[in-house]
Amino acid sequence: MKKPIIILNYKTYTESLGDKGRELTWAARDLMRETGIRIIVCPQTPELHHHKGYDIEVFAQHVDPIEPGSHTGHVLPQTLQACGVTGSLINHSEDRMPAEKIKQCVEILRKLGMTSIVCAESIEKVKEVSAFKPDFVAIEPPELIGSGIPVSKADPDIVTKSVEAVTDPNVKVLCGAGISKGEDVKAALELGTVGVLLASGVVKAKDPKAALKDLVTFT
């Protein structure tokens, strides 16, 4: 079985703040070295700088489609780069954006050589945003987010149909929502995705490092 890509979103959980967040980043880095599985962490925006230089890819949870200038309170892609960030989630279910802005974000990130992961809540949305040619589209049914019920098992159809909906071979499909175990990751791969986007199953686990390890135990 091919190796999955694992995107770990720290959201705004207190369990991922400060030292605890950095320990999680280090644990992900160690696991990546051990297994060769690509793991990307997405800490909270104000803390991104503290995750720089640990030999693991760090992405933002959000970016705004802006150029340097007067945009108080926005997240400038170039600032993310200065923090060692090499990509970003866009249009997460908890931070939606109009389609035009999604497109602009993807284009700006591409111009800067950064990776884009656009989240989508439906097959129609997957089809729409994949036309913007992001690096990844992540299908996430909102009702399963944070539920502990894995999308790859609860709604395999939405995953396979999302994979079918993306006709551009350069746009890879991830799935997310309720993923917490190695068997969920395995199911996601079997449905044709290249990996998973997850948060609570690891960040809020009693033992996040053990949960992270379990995630890559799927053979």
Ligand X SMILES: O=C[C@H](O)COP(=O)(O)O
Binding-site residue set for substrate:
9-11, 145, 178, 199-200
Annotated binding site: 9-11, 145, 178, 199-200
Give the three-state DSSP class for 79: helix
151 contacts 177 by C-beta, under 8 angstroms: yes
Site size for ligand X (CB under 6 A): 14
Residues involved in catalysis = 92, 140
125 contact partners, CB below 8 Å, separation of at least 6: none
Smallest distance from ligand X to CB 176, Å: 4
Residue from 134, 176, 195, 208 touching ligand X (CB under 6 A): that is: 176
Give the three-state DSSP class for 17: coil
Q: Which amino acid is at 192?
A: G
Residue from 137, 199, 211, 215 touching ligand X (CB under 6 A): that is: 199
Looking at the Cβ atoms of 9 and 116, the one nearer to ligand X is 9
146 binds ligand X (CB under 6 A): yes
9 binds ligand X (CB under 6 A): yes
155 binds ligand X (CB under 6 A): no
Residue 56 has which token pair?
A: 């693991």
Scanning the chain, the segments in alpha helix (DSSP H) are 18-35, 77-82, 99-111, 123-130, 151-154, 156-165, 182-190, 200-203, 208-215
46-85 residues in contact with ligand X (CB under 6 A) are: none
* Degrees, nearest 5: CA angle 145-196-27: 100
Residue nearest ligand X (C-beta atom): 200
Residue from 177, 185, 188, 211 touching ligand X (CB under 6 A): that is: 177
Binding interface with ligand X (CB under 6 A): 9, 93, 140, 145-146, 176-179, 197-201
